[in-house]
Amino acid sequence: MTTTGIRVVLTAYEGRKLFGEQLPLSGVIERELTSLDGNQWSLLLLDRPFDYQVQDSQSKAFRGFEARKLLIRSRWRGQSIGEREPTSVFVLIAGDESLFEDTRIDPKRFYFEAWAMCENEKKG
């Protein structure tokens, strides 16, 4: 099932606060990407970007950037993003958006925030 063009909403999973309490986040699935290990990921273009900060493991200095896109993938076997039922998703953030241009992405080059619940955006 292709997810391209589907509008989704990310909400907290198990009460976890993500991205400095930026949730809920909504956006449209821009395209699908394949990781080096063969997993399918969905590239989510956010309606509302947010500021994100990471700490360099070597220098311990902090660096901030604006997150405009996220990579998401269902955590639950047999359940995909875009189905009628919500699904728990892995959420990865790119410190450099050029990572999205790779033919096959390497999830280890992204920041793993946590999990979120993903569901189709309900029409008003």
Domain residue limits at 93: 7-120
Structural domain includes residue 1: no
Looking at residue 20, its pLDDT comes to 57
Structural domain includes residue 65: yes
Looking at residue 1, its pLDDT comes to 58
pLDDT, tens digit (0-9, with 9 covering 90-100), for 50-96:
888 888 778 888 888 999 999 999 999 888 887 888 999 999 999 89
Looking at residue 19, its pLDDT comes to 61
Looking at residue 16, its pLDDT comes to 59
Looking at residue 75, its pLDDT comes to 93
Structural domain includes residue 67: yes
Q: How far apart are CA 104 and CA 60, in angstroms?
A: 29
62-69 long-range contacts, CB within 8 A, separation 24+: 63/95, 65/95, 67/19, 67/93, 67/94, 68/97, 69/30, 69/43, 69/44, 69/45, 69/94, 69/97, 69/100
Indicate if the pLDDT at residue 28 is higher than 90: yes
> What's the pTM?
0.87
State the total domains in the chain: 1
Q: Provide mean pLDDT across the span 39-59.
A: 89
Structural domain includes residue 82: yes
Structural domain includes residue 2: no
